[in-house]
Amino acid sequence: MITVDLASSEVRALNQCLHDLRPDTNERAFTVTNPLGKHAIAAGLDAPVEVTIQGHVGYYCAGMNKHATVVIEGHCGWGVGENIMSGTVRVKGNASQAAGASGHGGLVVIEGDAGPRCGISMKGVDIVVGGSVGHLSAFLAQAGRLVVCGDAGESLGDSVYEAKLYVRGRVESLGAGCVEQPMTPEDVAAVADLLARAGIKADAKAFRRYGTDRSLYNFHVDHADAY
Amino acid sequence: MTVDPRQLRPSYTFPPATIAEIHRAADQGLYEIRGSGAKRRLPTFDDLVFLGASVSRYPLEGYREKCATGVTLGTRFAKKPIELKIPITFAGMSFGALGAHAKESLGRAATQLGTTTTTGDGGMTEEERRSSKTLVYQVLPSRYGLNPDDLRRCDAIEVVVGQGAKPGGGGMLLGQKITERVARMRTLPVGIDQRSACRHPDWTGPDDLTIKIQELREITDWQKPIYVKIGATRTPFDVQLAVKAGADVIVLDGMQGGTAATQDVFIEHVGIPTLPAVRLAVEALKELDMHRKVQLIVSGGIRSGADVAKCLALGADAVSIGMAALMAMGCNKPIYVEDYQKLGTEPGYCHHCHTGRCPVGVTTQDPELEKRLVPEQGARWLRNYVTTMILEVQTLARACGKSHVLNLEPEDMVALTVEAAAMAGIPLAGTNWIPGRG
Amino acid sequence: MCGIVGLFLKNPALAGDLGRHLTTMLVGMTDRGPDSAGIAVYTRPDGVLKLTLFHPDTGYPWREVGGQLGQALGVEDDVEIKANHAVLALKGADEKAARAWLARHHPEVRVMGWGRAMEVYKDMGRPADVASKFHVGAMGGTHGIGHTRMATESAVTTEHSHPFTAAADTCLVHNGSLSNHNRLREWLKRHGMEFETDNDTEVAARYFAHRIREGATLKEAMEAGLKDLDGFYTFAMGTADGFAVLRDPIACKPAVLAETDDWVAMASEFRSLANLPGIAKASIWEPAPAVVYTWSLGGNA
């Protein structure tokens, strides 16, 4: 176990050390103390290591993550796990805006609430939120799955493509081109599996599914109101 | 009965093209979407001329007396700046907008010329990375295809805030060009009309861009130069903010800049011409004492060595070409004329990139059409064209007594019109007068 | 574009540390605003009118001018000089008369702020330098707001820095960019407002002052702003007895709030809150878009 204290060292040194790890490294577990809201902590990881951050982080923590497991024992700022490719990013507290933005794969877990634009532009990542998400979540969401145990703010799934959205609580309003869809047994199984992987207890059958009605897939004058 | 042509009075306000557009809008109920850049008459570099050698200034001889053309980009923060052999680069154009053959031609030519090519709003293709020795990788609002592996294997990163054709607009690609391959790269369903974001998903504003740029540097261990690309609008503020946000290089695209598809209203009515944009950007950099420390690449309707030389004289470090590069590869060439006509146009007038039916195989995903552009040939054409431009720049620079093209300066030029003088900040020929400066 | 901070002390025992904490918070926002910085500090009011004044010349004859003004209004004056600012205290004076006198007799002096509790200091330079220049670290008080500036559309000068004073004891800091400030400026001018800069934040500050002058409460004024102000913004407003925070409905500019039994703090990024005492146990959340949050010394919102 390697411990790095960001009160007395720089994020640059930490990230360089993590980037320099060889794929066959023995150093697999890192603890980061006193993150003090700093930005880009553990960004660009590309090795199957575990990084646990004790405290609150700033923007883009674990940005573009590959293979690693990053756990934030606190809250995070904007863009946690943005553009994640694989691996897992877990936030024990709340996430700010754009959690999991444009993620391609892997799993992002927010145990508390996620702010507005959770899963914006997502491209295949799975995001599981124990609490609620803010407005414009899953905006332009292309692929992947968003599971929200709490409520969703206004304009959920505005301009959504093929991403699947599951919300257990109240949806304030749906965005352009996003409609409620029937929960199939496959959906229930998928949600149950995601909740299990996220370690969050909830009844998969209590979720409702939302997704694209494909009405905005090709430009047409009859949809001018949506623009 | 024949019509007396003297009785036909055209309307200046409602010329035939405007009337046709109103009829089209009444039929379709949607804005016109097209490719290419602004077609309206705009002030260009044509109205600036160089003051060649004379009794008071002496020229350099060709060949023996070198006129150097090398430029270094990204000296501010990057560990590995980009060394260009020439001050001309290829602008960001997406695979999707362009076909794979076109992207490969650009890559090969860039390698042969000792310059860079740039990915676009669809991500990096293998052909592009393989064929380009030095490749700039764009990070756009859509984030299509963006991934850290490509970020790590590119040579420079270009954060796109906007482009000259549509400052404030996002990418656009119509269903007919969203083929299997394009769809896979962009994580989109085949055949849909791509709707794209106009803002980045995880930052808005220069204060948050500062943090985003730092993240990109962190991910790539501060090795690569970070460019910030903007469409020319509020240029003085934008350039200064890009500098403050931490850019190594600023790419400024004037309103003449092209696109493969966007609303005509955007192309023709938003943004300022490249001519004033260059001057405004250079002044903004000088005010921060950052001229030549944060490099400036200018684009938007650059056509010839004369245009390149004038941009450099105004203070740019390099230029970027987009539409002109496509033309070198055959865009608007008078061949396959029936195919132009099928699109309702003729060679010389075509702006139909958005249809995906490019008659010369450049802006298409159709394999049959793509065969018409052979990458070796495309690369050769590009190399010849850019080489011609460089020779022209050197000719002009030598005539002004310069041993390096970047030693061209504003005082080497005068303006032929009041408009150009005001926009470029260059005195009107025969006078000391720069309109707007007292 | 910028960083903003605000600190409101619920526990009076911390009053002596206000300036120290505000300074740390302000410096935390340096990356967002390297051009200039400003701070408004609210000290326990004792009924004395204070004007914070600025003149670029550090040799400016403040005491003389203060004496003249005191004499003109028939009140005692006291002058405290801090670098290129001065705090002029006038016991029992009417603020309109004082400002009118200055405008008439010394138009070269810029009034940064006025009121019974508020002092405003702002200048070009990095936040740490600005804070140290005015000895912010040594100031005590009940609450304060601060700002670090990266200029978007107007010049970098002392006058263009935030906070902007809208009315007595009322000032505004802003992170974002308003898109209709030019029209609003014209409209406010027609309603009698005078402007010192072309800065969009000054428009917002005077807009709120106008609404308040017309009878709105602080909350109502800010809610009216949601309709009339277009663009992207996080606002923090300081008032005689509290402060308010508002984000626009699109909410693309950041804001973080933290609260303990001892204080409420606000900043553009958590970085600025990370060193506050008790932050480890604070509740931390982000203000919802288009909701006015207010805290006041009398009672909390």
SS (H, E, C) A110-128: ECCCECCCCCCCCEEEEEE
CB atoms within 10 A of CB C34: 18
Could you write out the DSSP letters of every residue in B376-412? Answer: HHHHHHHHHHHHHHHHHHHHHHHHTT-SBGGG--GGG
User: What is the Cβ-side half-sphere exposure of residue B68, based on CA atoms within 13 angstroms?
Assistant: 8
Residue C16 has pLDDT above 60, yes or no: yes
- pLDDT at residue B195, rounded to an integer: 81
Helix (H) or strand (E) holding C232: strand C231-239
Give the span between the Cα atoms of C18 and C27, in whole angstroms: 14
Calculate the alpha carbon distances from C56 to C83, C158, C161 in Å: 9, 9, 14
Asked if B207 lies within 8 A of C32 by C-beta distance, the reply is yes
| Residue A133: pLDDT band with limits 50, 70, 90 | very high
> What is the overall mean pLDDT for chain A?
95
Distance, in Å, from the CA atom of C99 to the CA atom of B379, rounded to the nearest integer, reads: 72
CATH 3.60.20.10 applies to domain C2-45+117-296? yes
Q: What digits encode the pLDDT tens for the residues C23-57?
A: 999 999 999 998 899 999 999 777 799 999 999 99
Q: Where are the domains of chain C?
A: 2-45+117-296, 47-116
pLDDT of C301 reads 42
> What rounded mean pLDDT belongs to chain B?
95
CB-CB under 8 Å, B195 with A140: yes
Only one residue has tokens 């009160």, namely: A7
Average pLDDT value for chain C: 92
Min Cα separation A206/chain B (Å): 29
**Nearest Cβ partner for B204 among C150, C151, C232:** C232
The answer to whether residue B215 neighbours chain C at the CB level (below 8 Å) is: no
pLDDT tens profile B19-54: 999 999 999 888 899 999 999 999 999 999 999 999
Domain boundaries, chain A: 94-216
- The pLDDT assigned to A226 comes to 61
Chain A contacts of B30, Cβ < 8 Å?
219-221, 224
In angstroms and rounded to an integer, the radius of gyration of the C-alpha atoms of chain A is 18
Where does the pLDDT of residue C166 fall: very low under 50, low under 70, confident under 90, or very high at 90 and above? confident
Whether residue C227 contacts residue C248, with contact meaning beta carbons closer than 8 Å, is answered with no
What distance in Å separates the CA atoms of residue C99 and residue C111, rounded to the nearest whole number? 8
> Quick one: pLDDT band at residue C158, thresholds 50, 70, 90?
confident
Does residue C2 have an active-site annotation?
yes
Q: Which residues of chain B are within 8 Å of residue C176 when distances are taken between CB atoms?
A: 205
Q: State percent of chain C over pLDDT 70.
A: 98
In tens, the pLDDT along C249-269 reads 999 999 999 999 999 999 999
Q: Given the structure tokens 């009076």, which residue do they identify?
A: C12
Residue A162 pLDDT more than 80? yes
Token pair recorded at residue B241: 């903010």
Residues B219, A63: C-beta atoms closer than 8 Å: yes
- C70-101 per-position pLDDT tens digit: 999 999 899 999 999 999 999 888 989 999 99
The pLDDT confidence band at residue A224, using thresholds 50, 70 and 90, is low
Q: Please give the pLDDT value at position B381.
A: 98
Q: Which CATH class is domain A94-216?
A: mainly beta
When pLDDT is cut at 50, 70 and 90, the band that residue A227 belongs to is low
Does C286 sit within 8 Å of A93, measured CB to CB?
no
How close is the nearest chain B Cα to the Cα of C162, in Å?
Answer: 16
CA distance B143 to B335: 36
What is the residue-wise DSSP string for B81-138? PEEESSSEEEPB--BTTB-HHHHHHHHHHHHHHT--EE-BTTB--HHHHHH-SSEEEE
CA–CA gap between residue B54 and residue B188 (Å, rounded): 61
DSSP C116-163: SSEEEEEEES-HHHHHHHTTGGG---SEEEEEEE--SSS--STTTSSP
The dotted CATH code for C47-116 is 3.30.70.100
* A39: nearest CA partner in chain C: C271
Is the pLDDT at A51 greater than 90, yes or no?
yes
**pLDDT the model gives residue B290:** 96
The mean pLDDT value for B149-163 works out to: 97
In chain B, positions 139-168, which contact chain A (CB-CB < 8 Å)? 142-143, 146-149, 151-152
Interchain pair C252, B240: CB under 8 A:
no
> In the B/C pair of chains, how many CB contacts fall below 8 A?
41
pLDDT confidence band for A221 (50 / 70 / 90): low
Specify the pLDDT at position A26: 85
Report whether pLDDT(B88) > 50. Answer: yes
Q: Which of C1, C2, C60, C247 is catalytic?
A: C2
From the list C152, C232, C252, which residue is nearest B241 (CB)? C152
| pLDDT at position B145 over 90 | yes
Predicted TM-score (pTM) of the model is: 0.94
For residues B208-233, average pLDDT: 97
Q: Which domains does chain B have, with CATH numbers?
A: 32-166+201-424 (3.20.20.70)
